[in-house]
Structure 1
Amino acid sequence: MRDLLNWPGKSAPDVGGVEHPAVYHMLDVAAVAERLIAPFGLDAPQRDALVFLIALHDLGKISEGFRAMLRGEAAGGGPRHWQVSEVLLRHHDDLLATRLGCAPHRRAALYAAVAGHHGRPSDLALPIGRHHPARHGPQDVALKLAGTGVAVAREVIAAFAALWPGASLDGLSLEQAQRLSWWLAGLCTTADWIGSNTDWFAPNAQAMPLSAYLAQARLTAVEAVEGAGLGGCDLRQGPLFDFAPRPMQEACAQVPLPEGPMLAVIEDETGAGKTEAALLLAQRMLAAGKGRGLFFALPTMATADAMFERAAGVVGRMFDAPRVTLAHGRAGLSVAFRDIQQGRADSPDDVTCTDWLAQSRRRALLADVGVGTIDQALLAVLPVKFQTLRYFGLSSKILIVDEVHELGEPYIGAELEALLRMHRAAGGSAILLTATLPVAQRAKLLAVYDGQAPSPTYPALTVAGGAAVSDFPQATGSKGPVRVVRLGRMDEAVEVISGAAARGAACVWVRNSVDDAIAAVQALQEAGIEADLLHARFALGDRKRIEAAARGRFGKDGRGRAGRVLVGTQVLESSLDFDFDVMVSDLAPMAALVQRAGRLWRHMAERPQAIRPVPAPILHVLAPDPAQVSDDRWLQGVLGGGAFVYPLADQWRTADHLFRVGEITAPSGLRALIEAVHGAGARDVPQALEAAELRTEGEGAAARGHAAQNIVDFAAGYRAGGRANDDARYPTRLGEEQQTLVLARYDGAGGLQPWIAGSEGWALSEVSASRKRLARFDLPDQDAPEIVALTRDWPEWKRAALRICPVAGDGTICPGLRYETEMGLVLEVKS
């Protein structure tokens, strides 16, 4: 026993302190894994086999090389300890075979999974079995590094096997082993992170039988898993809401649930209560054992923040004291999330978040309830570091994806299909929410769960391979049809808004590009109309301030809206609960226009027709005549730079059909509008636009090919399919690369202060714009003394990612580039 304890797993925290033996650390992690794996309901032999393998995850620390390195007696070199773990497991495969059963290739897939717990699989070229045919190959180098530890590792395997005598992998197919390897790697990583935390598992070199130490570790694991926030929570019974359900919500409360993992698609108009419908359905799915938690995936950080505030007030009625997290790059700036973390009086009493969960976006997916951007979930299917941790975290969740229509671009659409396939393979269920999903895209997503081509009826609740509810009332919404009127010139748009604002109407102009939104505000100002501006090129703190002001003015309970004007970009389309009397919009694809029109006369109970300052809802669309197309610059003459944001063919088909129909009737008429642009019977574009359409199709094919290259090869298993590179090399979305600027002000002493004051000032002072466009400007020299003084202690990656940009008193950053508090980042040189 003493010999086993002479192989340290962790260095002493203090000079002369206690080294934590590797075998004890391995049992710490195994004890945590037992707690984490218990709710998944695996058969006892397989469950114990996986825990046994996780116990062996750091077998490579039974190595002379690792021990010397840890004690400072030799420099690290050669294979890493986790790579040596895989070598030792394969080297002693004969022993493991007698304990676990199943075929060598299947065991090898799981060896790679537990050894690859540091976020990536080993890339050492290893054979199946003990002996490498070539001398001095990677296996021989690893075994030489282990030295006498090779024989001791065999003793450890035998000793650990006695702790889980019922462990068996018999009956496991190769396909199952490869699929399981992804999930097992994530489970092992999670268990290792908790089991390595010295706040719970303190260093201990006291000699005791391994069985006795494991019993002690199991007791500690109960506290550790609960302390981390992964102890799970019970479901609560009773109603979620105190209002009368709408038709879609009633359908979700009654639709039959199929056996096993399921996918449901909820399609209804904007403002119809789809989120509440999804929660009602999710509550039933949880009760049926289809998950133990939730993850809400949203298209943007802003929509995720909004959903977090909504969900935090509801999930406490679904669960008993759930741990709730916000998962995106700016989660720490969310006041609602910070309130929950710190247990402030403003936060719901029945939801919490542990410090351990809040420390990392990756960990956030492990919480009982997570809210975040879709990107956080999509990273589970890309070959990035700790991809398997995300996969494991999602596996126990009902995945709720909102605004699915915004994920129709070929690259991200392929990622979503892959995510659903992997989620289903892990036994996961999902709910997709959409207002404007094309039938063909819906069919692809349903097919992942063996769903058949659904009915084109709208609204619809479709369960893949199960029931389809489409007999909803087809009455027009309370505001009636929204008439569509074309405006051919920008001055006409200014005139419409000017006249409506003078009559006390709350007005909005939605533009396709930030530059055009800024130009619209300037044109309105020249006409004597004051307008607020909201777009994505504001410093984060300014954007939050403007959004809050707009919510207070144009939200459901808004005040002071009469005669006010807001100009914005696509940030107004999704999940912002605004209500306007008059709307002007640049021409955009049909789905986007339907979404925008959903913010027109939205809250009829609070503001019925009788008190509106205009007699009926009208969507004014700034667009050229679709019957007059002479060349592919047809749209550019009216929209300028905004003409290049969306595919030209989609734009023309939208204009051609919408102006002929003349109205948007929700919900009954929405399916026909969407299919007129994206459906099989969509009208041919004019000959002058054919080349542009072919280019778009080619770009789409290239994007799908790019996605196919990036998405992990799930069937190949974790070792062959997981490469674990930096996230930036494998983006969740394609698009123009962005550069992040950090705005600063000069203080009185010549130093720099953040543009936005406060403890989070530097993060709130960030603003992003096209890297290509910013390259045309002579940005501030990062070697200037005041900038060096600020960034001196930054890590290299941060200095490379961010550019400090002092802003002069008149807003100038450099010639042609300035920042204004109410206009945002203004690029005077056009692209």
Structure 2
Amino acid sequence: MTAVNSGDRVVENGGEMRGYLDWPGKSAIAEGMPEHPAVYHMLDVAAVAEVLIAPFRFPKPLTQALILLTGLHDLGKIGNQFRAMLRDGGRQSQKHWEITEVLLRHHEKMLEDRLGAQWRPLRQLVAASAGHHGWPPGLNDKGFSGPLGLTGMQAVEDSGEVVATFLALWPEASLADVTTAQAKALSWWLPGLVTAADWIGSNTGWFPAMAAGPDLADYLTGARERAARAVSEAGLAGTPIGTVPLFDFSLRPMQAACQSIDLPEGPMLAVIEDETGAGKTEAALILAQRMMQAGKGRGLFFALPTMATADAMFARAETVLGRLFAGVPSVTLAHGRSALSERYRSIVNAARESSDTITCTPWLAENRRKALLADVGVGTVDQALLAALPTRFNTLRHFGLSSKILIVDEVHEIGEPYMASVLEQLLRLHRGAGGSAILLTATLPLDLRRRLLATYEGAAENPAYPALTLSSGAVRTDLPQETGAKGAVAVARLDSAAEAVTLLAQAAGQGAACVWVRNAVDDAIAAVQDLRAAGVEADLLHARFALCDRKRIEAAALSRFGKAGAGRADRVMIATQVIESSLDLDFDVMVSDLAPMAALVQRTGRLWRHMEARPRAGRPVPAPVLHVVSPDPAAVADAHWLNRVLDRGAFVYPHDLQWRTADHLFREGRIVAPSGLRGLIEAVHGADLPPVPEPLLHAEAERLGSNAARGAHGWQNVIRLAEGYRNGGAASNDADYPTRLGLPQRVLVLARAGQGGLQPFAAGPEGWALSEVTASLVRLAALPLPDQNAPAIVAVKAGWPDWKRDALWICPVAEDGAICEGLRYDPDLGLLFDTPHVRG
């Protein structure tokens, strides 16, 4: 058969075909090639949705209704303006996806009658289907008539015929039992399904353009065959859950509890609380496998506090992920610098050779938003939190997470009021879609635990520690309280940084592997310079290194101070908070600047960590001691109590928390894990706290006011679940709704002069990304940074997108490290400010 375009209609062998086939959905990819009719594209997407939705096991009538609405997502391409835009380059006064809602509302009576739907829930789901480009439609009822007229009467008539034909293709579709509240909950999930199906269905490699010809039933048959292949090759077909044990070692108490605790029906939240190094990650994997076997999820997403912790978890979990499944799972690393991970790059499109192989398809790897669609994702918690913020494609993230067990590690680090508010809303959103979650922590305050459990309508008042708590009310508190081979950690106070330098030099001279955790980068740099001046081999790690150097230093630290480290004797590492959770390191002697109790407990987890590898008898010191650089908490003369000892590091944490930590910890005189940890945390971070000295009352009031403001800011920013997607989910750029608050930062990109112009400071194909370093915008604003309009810099940025040109500041580095007056870079010390310190 030969189909040709004749005027405004498609005719075939002299006879008129269905008019709706003449509305193009995609332009011809080359001259002489066919346009792809909009209605064919809609069927492509519906066929993909059939595959994607099947594992969710909705009732058949609802399943077909959701597939139907997914197929109708691009009904607005049937219109004069969209066709003129494709064929003649005309301008659209209204986006086609907003016209989709206009047309579906115009045909609302047909949909109500055939679907048995009430108008309120139907409108929620119609808007959700239309809003698949990352935003909900923004027209109001009074604004529908104008766009309808611009669409054209023939388009309105043809779109009605498409709706009727689609209803016949899914004859069992029904929304009769869907309430408005249920429709609002579904409205957050449906746009994600539509987006995922649309992105696959728009791929011309899987769905090549086809000239108008086959009727819709015949076309759908072929589209279903193509959809099954496309979903599989995209990495979204799913992988059967495994049944073999994940580990062959004897389970620790928390791991055994996760293996045996009774699981409740339906969605659940579990909180695993245990000391650092107790095997919480393995416990969570054991529990997650059981939850998946019970039908509570078909995959995992590991949410970590930082990119460094995500990279470390990816390397750690890589070997066991294959055993979670009875096939080869798709796995992604989800954060802004995942492309720099050699481990991750090695699995992209890896051959599926054995049952313990993991892989990532190129389709999944090309976009961080897609990463949450894989069987397993490992990434920063930000990637998940964005689902609960009114950001573009938040619904795609939610759809991807909804089939996963969400595992949030180091959840205490998300206890800051703003992030805690967003996390609470994320958990409510996840539960609303039937999702389950596991939270891991060593230092979670009871009040925050109560709030998080309440998102799944659960509460637990038992203060026992360690504990495994389920939202159903089940609690395992019969876990051993005995201190392990490390024993209690003694606490000793150092009056000054100079005392710390002396102690570390002496300990290193005795063959100890030592660490000093400093609160501020500038203080860390000063400490390493003082130690080197004293003849002590000292390494430095902080967040103000170019990424190439940070990766190099982290690898060296793991090689020297890790579980199997070598050459650790006589060495000292000076580090900031970056080692609290991101690196698995083990030291004989630890010094720390005074920090809030939760941070000190985390830091202590790196002291005498691997006792099986380095038992007590082999250590160069007789017992573990946490030496804390701190003023005397009994001698608070004025508000500058802390500044005189910690200098720049005194401004990192609230002073009232610092004082409460010092007061309680020095009176206790030791850290006993696990039995004593709950008391330590509640004494500083709990709800019922003792008064602080009068000079610190203002600092406490500032902290409480800031916490209230940050928490309120979080609740102001999150999506409004009860209003549904159309009214509660207006989307903006990710930067407009941050996942965490903090002092403004600027990303510098270091460069060197080379042949043909500026070259990245770091070598290799990812040189520009590896040359990035981040620093305080306040401090950088006072400096004469290189002019970004300089010809050499403009030449580098020429091919960059606008956002990247504006966000990244290229900084040529001279041979002596100078960048500009007051700023230089040293590969062994990091970014150095030669100007007086400015807070921030």
Q: TM-score, normalised by structure 1?
A: 0.97
User: 1:341-367, CA deviations, whole angstroms, 9 ceiling, x for partnerless residues?
Assistant: 153899995111000000011000000
> Cα 1:347–1:550, aligned 2, differ >3 Å: closer, same or farther?
farther
Report the Cα distance in structure 1 between the residues aligned to 2:455 and 2:430, rounded to whole angstroms: 10
Report the Cα distance in structure 1 between the residues aligned to 2:166 and 2:458, rounded to whole angstroms: 45
Aligned to 1:786: 792
Deviation of 1:102 (Å): 2.1
Aligned to 2:748: 741
State the SS of the aligned residue for 2:348: helix
State the SS of the aligned residue for 2:112: helix
Report the Cα distance in structure 2 between the residues aligned to 1:378 and 1:146, rounded to whole angstroms: 42
Deviation of 1:550 (Å): 0.2
Report the Cα distance in structure 1 between the residues aligned to 2:144 and 2:653, rounded to whole angstroms: 51
CA contact (8 A) 1:269 1:667 kept: yes
Aligned to 1:14: 30
- Corresponding letter in the other structure for 2:63: R
State the SS of the aligned residue for 2:610: coil
Aligned to 1:151: 157
State whether structure 2 residue 115 is matched by structure 1 residue 104: no
Aligned to 1:773: 779
- Corresponding letter in the other structure for 1:499: Q
State whether structure 2 residue 382 is matched by structure 1 residue 375: yes
Aligned to 2:454: 447
Aligned to 1:42: 58
Amino-acid identity (%) = 63
CA contact (8 A) 2:37 2:212 kept: no
State the SS of the aligned residue for 2:566: coil
State whether structure 2 residue 66 is matched by structure 1 residue 59: no
State whether structure 2 residue 104 is matched by structure 1 residue 89: yes
Deviation of 1:682 (Å): 2.1
User: 1:15-59, CA deviations, whole angstroms, 9 ceiling, x for partnerless residues?
Assistant: 221000011000000000000000001000011011111111100
Deviation of 1:147 (Å): 3.9
- Corresponding letter in the other structure for 2:797: T
Report the Cα distance in structure 2 between the residues aligned to 1:272 and 1:704, rounded to whole angstroms: 31
Report the Cα distance in structure 2 between the residues aligned to 1:325 and 1:273, rounded to whole angstroms: 23
State the SS of the aligned residue for 1:314: helix
CA contact (8 A) 2:352 2:359 kept: no
State whether structure 2 residue 522 is matched by structure 1 residue 522: no
State the SS of the aligned residue for 2:73: coil
- Structure 1: gaps of 5 or more residues: 127-131
**Alignment match of 1:577 (pick from 579, 584, 589):** 584
> Cα 1:796–1:348, aligned 2, differ >3 Å: closer, same or farther?
farther
Report the Cα distance in structure 1 between the residues aligned to 2:258 and 2:668, rounded to whole angstroms: 32
Report the Cα distance in structure 1 between the residues aligned to 2:91 and 2:173, rounded to whole angstroms: 35
Aligned to 1:723: 730
State the SS of the aligned residue for 2:263: coil
State whether structure 2 residue 772 is matched by structure 1 residue 757: no
User: 1:486-524, CA deviations, whole angstroms, 9 ceiling, x for partnerless residues?
Assistant: 001111000110000000000000000111111111111
- Corresponding letter in the other structure for 1:552: S
> Cα 1:799–1:372, aligned 2, differ >3 Å: closer, same or farther?
same
State the SS of the aligned residue for 1:461: strand
Report the Cα distance in structure 2 between the residues aligned to 1:590 and 1:139, rounded to whole angstroms: 62
State the SS of the aligned residue for 2:169: coil
Aligned to 2:551: 544
State whether structure 2 residue 562 is matched by structure 1 residue 555: yes
State the SS of the aligned residue for 2:653: coil
State the SS of the aligned residue for 2:778: helix
State the SS of the aligned residue for 1:71: helix
Report the Cα distance in structure 2 between the residues aligned to 1:207 and 1:330, rounded to whole angstroms: 46
Report the Cα distance in structure 1 between the residues aligned to 2:262 and 2:92, rounded to whole angstroms: 59
Aligned to 2:45: 29
**Alignment match of 1:503 (pick from 507, 510, 532):** 510
> Cα 1:348–1:289, aligned 2, differ >3 Å: closer, same or farther?
closer
- Corresponding letter in the other structure for 2:310: A
Deviation of 1:77 (Å): 2.6
Report the Cα distance in structure 1 between the residues aligned to 2:625 and 2:234, rounded to whole angstroms: 52
Tell me the matched-pair count.
820
RMSD: 1.3
User: 1:99-133, CA deviations, whole angstroms, 9 ceiling, x for partnerless residues?
Assistant: 1122111111111001011111111122xxxxx5x
- Corresponding letter in the other structure for 1:42: F
CA contact (8 A) 1:741 1:805 kept: yes
Report the Cα distance in structure 2 between the residues aligned to 1:371 and 1:609, rounded to whole angstroms: 35
State whether structure 2 residue 308 is matched by structure 1 residue 302: yes
Aligned to 1:213: 219
> Cα 1:330–1:347, aligned 2, differ >3 Å: closer, same or farther?
farther
Deviation of 1:415 (Å): 0.6
Deviation of 1:140 (Å): 2.2
Report the Cα distance in structure 1 between the residues aligned to 2:652 and 2:104, rounded to whole angstroms: 54
CA contact (8 A) 2:481 2:674 kept: yes
**Alignment match of 2:93 (pick from 72, 78, 99):** 78
> Cα 1:625–1:146, aligned 2, differ >3 Å: closer, same or farther?
farther
State the SS of the aligned residue for 1:735: coil
Aligned to 2:617: 610
Deviation of 1:206 (Å): 4.2
1:210-609 matches, within 5 Å, as: 210-319=216-325, 320-343=327-350, 350-609=357-616
Deviation of 1:750 (Å): 6.4
State whether structure 2 residue 805 is matched by structure 1 residue 803: no
CA contact (8 A) 1:312 1:348 kept: no
- More deviation in 247-256 or 305-314? 305-314
1:669-708 matches, within 5 Å, as: 669-708=676-715
Aligned to 1:129: none
